[in-house]
Amino acid sequence: MLLDVSKIEAFYGASQALFGVDLSVAEGEAVALMGRNGMGKTTTIRAICNMNPPRIGTVRLGGMDLRGKRPHHVARLGIGLVPEGRRCFPNLTVHENLVAAARPGKWTLERVNGLFPRLQERHAQMARSLSGGEQQMLAIGRALMTNPRLLILDEATEGLAPVVRQDIWKAIRRLKADGLSILVVDKTLSELLPVADRCVILENGRSAWSGKAAELTTELQDRYLGV
Ligand SMILES: Nc1ncnc2c1ncn2[C@@H]1O[C@H](COP(=O)(O)OP(=O)(O)OP(=O)(O)O)[C@@H](O)[C@H]1O
């Protein structure tokens, strides 16, 4: 297993948010992390990256226990995170944002520009002046420039115009076809499910269901994801 999350529990101060989350991502697999609002998806991602380290349970990447590793170290070990809210350096140009993150590997500036031609067109522009969709592309491009073993996308298409969402999904499908291992959170099932090999559903901070995307029946969707 590339990523192996076992029985993690996480807290915000005294308040417990995760009560036992299990999930795994195999090499080349795309796993959808799902659940209604507030069920713990972002907290799970923050726990995996040790931004809010789990107090109980283990997270392993390629067999290595990530316990005690600082978030930047986790990034260096191969987890590329595209966080909720697409954080780029606002006062750096597109180009500077991309090269600041670069580590050797098959993902180069050229390849990222090929994936997102809009970034190439705007390479000299300040990140803060980009549209929301372009900032999201930049956030994904930055994560790819680290040449991650695992790409984590937290709500990468949230709040974007439909056309731009399509561009982002197209890129995600290309990354998946290219063999990248991906953990993805997104609310739009119609776009998420075709990309996902497997789904893990959280309910109240626990893994409540996991299985192949094709096994996620409308009944299960109503039970765990319906509003
Ligand atoms: N900074 C915080 N301080 C305290 N509690 C928090 C904090 N962030 C999240 N929580 C709580 O942790 C629980 C899980 O939240 P989390 O954001 O992980 O859910 P989510 O599944 O990502 O939801 P959403 O889809 O709304 O982003 C919720 O009960 C939430 O209120």
CA of 39 to the centre of ligand 1 (A): 7
* DSSP assignments along the chain, one per residue: --EEEEEEEEEETTEEEEEEEEEEE-TT-EEEEE-STTSSHHHHHHHHTTSS--SEEEEEETTEE-TT--HHHHHHHTEEEE-TT----TTSBHHHHHHHH--SSS--HHHHHHH-HHHHHTTTSBGGGS-HHHHHHHHHHHHHHT--SEEEEESTTTT--HHHHHHHHHHHHHHHHTT-EEEEE-S-HHHHHHH-SEEEEEETTEEEEEEEGGG--HHHHHHHH--
Q: Ligand 1 pocket check: which of 8, 9, 12 to mutate, most ligand atoms within 8 Å of Cβ?
A: 12
Pairing verdict, β 30-34 and 198-203 = parallel
Would you say 18 and 50 are in contact if contact means Cβ atoms under 8 Å apart?
no
Q: Strand pairing partners for 4?
A: 24, 60
85 lines ligand 1 (CB under 6 A): no
8 lines ligand 1 (CB under 6 A): no
Q: Whose CA is nearest to atom 6 of ligand 1?
A: 12
Q: Whose CA is nearest to atom 11 of ligand 1?
A: 17
CA of 174 to the centre of ligand 1 (A): 30
**122's tokens:** 């705007």
Distance of alpha carbon 85 from alpha carbon 23, whole angstroms = 23
Q: Whose CA is nearest to atom 29 of ligand 1?
A: 38
Distance of alpha carbon 143 from alpha carbon 139, whole angstroms = 6
> pLDDT per residue over 42-62, tens digit each?
999 999 999 999 999 999 999
CA of 5 to the centre of ligand 1 (A): 19
Q: What is the CATH number assigned to the segment(s) 3-225?
A: 3.40.50.300
CA of 119 to the centre of ligand 1 (A): 32
> pLDDT per residue over 1-50, tens digit each?
999 999 999 999 999 999 999 999 999 999 999 999 999 999 999 999 99
pTM of the model: 0.96
Q: Give yes or no for residue 173 having a pLDDT over 80.
A: yes
Amino acid in the structure at residue 161:
A
pLDDT of res. 161: 92
What is the band of 86 on the pLDDT scale with cuts at 50, 70, 90? confident
> pLDDT per residue over 126-171, tens digit each?
999 999 999 999 999 999 999 999 999 999 999 999 999 999 999 9
pLDDT of res. 101: 87
pLDDT of res. 226: 87
| Domain map (residue ranges) of the chain | 3-225
227 lines ligand 1 (CB under 6 A): no
CA of 210 to the centre of ligand 1 (A): 21
ipTM of this complex prediction, to 2 decimal places: 0.93
> pLDDT per residue over 209-220, tens digit each?
999 999 999 999
Distance of alpha carbon 186 from alpha carbon 156, whole angstroms = 7
Q: Whose CA is nearest to atom 1 of ligand 1?
A: 12
47 lines ligand 1 (CB under 6 A): no
pLDDT of res. 208: 97
